[in-house]
Amino acid sequence: MFETSKFIVREYFRKMIGEEGMKIMENVPEGEITDEEIARLSDTKLTAVRKVLYTLYENRIAEYRTERDDTSGWITYLWRFNYDNIKKIMGDEADGLLTGLKSQLEDERKGVFYQCGCQRISFEEAAAKDFRCDECNSNFEYVDNQDLISELEEKIEEIEKWKREIKKG
Ligand SMILES: [Zn+2]
């Protein structure tokens, strides 16, 4: 069964396959399975299951092989999830998030920020405008960004932890 309790993991897959796709993935046991079985287990229409499987296939998360019945000539598609690829994709996703968050954290630590009614800008930009915004006609006031810095640090810590879990699991 696919582990989807992690918020970031859920969000990632929700973007890719939607709410119905999440339900389908959560109901698929490990090993090979046909699309009909998935539809039955997840109580979802076969067309929806196939759509989700195709998206997962395009993202190299689901794979299939075919089996041909010699007497009837009927072809069965046997699907399975590639858990190694899921891990790799999740790891790449985590790295991408970390790069963005770390550079944002660095900017926040280095910078001094000011805010008016409509935007948040650096001290240098605010000084250049004489601390008055001509777009919303209010003054630029100093913003204490310590809370934002703590929030970013927490997020980074959470993703680092998640990365370690991906590697372990
Ligand atoms: Zn403004």
Please determine, for residue 5, whether its predicted confidence score (pLDDT) is greater than 70.
Answer: no
Average pLDDT, integer, range 113-140: 96
pLDDT single digits (tens) 43-75? 999 999 999 999 999 988 899 999 999 999 999
For the chain, the domains span 7-81, 86-168
Are β-strands 141-143 and 62-68 bridged in parallel, bridged antiparallel, or unpaired? unpaired
Please tell me the distance between residue 121's alpha carbon and the centre of ligand 1 in angstroms. 10
Band (161; pLDDT cuts 50, 70, 90): confident
Segment 116-140 shows an average pLDDT of: 96
Centroid of ligand 1 to alpha carbon of 136 (angstroms): 4
Q: Predicted confidence band at 165 (pLDDT cuts at 50, 70, 90)?
A: confident
Q: How far is CA 143 from CA 12, 118, 120, 122, 152, in A?
A: 32, 13, 9, 10, 16
Please, which residues have CB less than 5 A from ligand 1, an ion? Answer: 116-118, 133, 135-136
Handedness of CA 123, 127, 128, 134 (dihedral sign): positive
CA–centroid distance, residue 118 to ligand 1 (Å): 4
Q: How many angstroms does the Cα of residue 138 sit away from the middle of ligand 1?
A: 6
d(CA 56, CA 62): 5
Q: Read off the pLDDT of each residue in 97-122 and give the average, rounded to a whole number.
A: 96
- Predicted local confidence at residue 1, as pLDDT: 43
Q: Which residue has the higher pLDDT, 61 or 149?
A: 149
124: CA distance to ligand 1 center in Å?
Answer: 15
CA 107 to ligand 1 center in whole angstroms: 21
Order the strands of the 120-122 sheet from edge to edge: 120-122, 113-115, 141-143
Which CATH number is associated with domain 7-81?
1.10.10.10
Encode pLDDT of 129-146 as tens digits.
999 999 999 999 999 999
**DSSP 8-state secondary structure symbol assigned to residue 73:** -
Kindly state the percentage of the chain with pLDDT values over 70: 94
Mean pLDDT throughout 6-15? Answer: 73
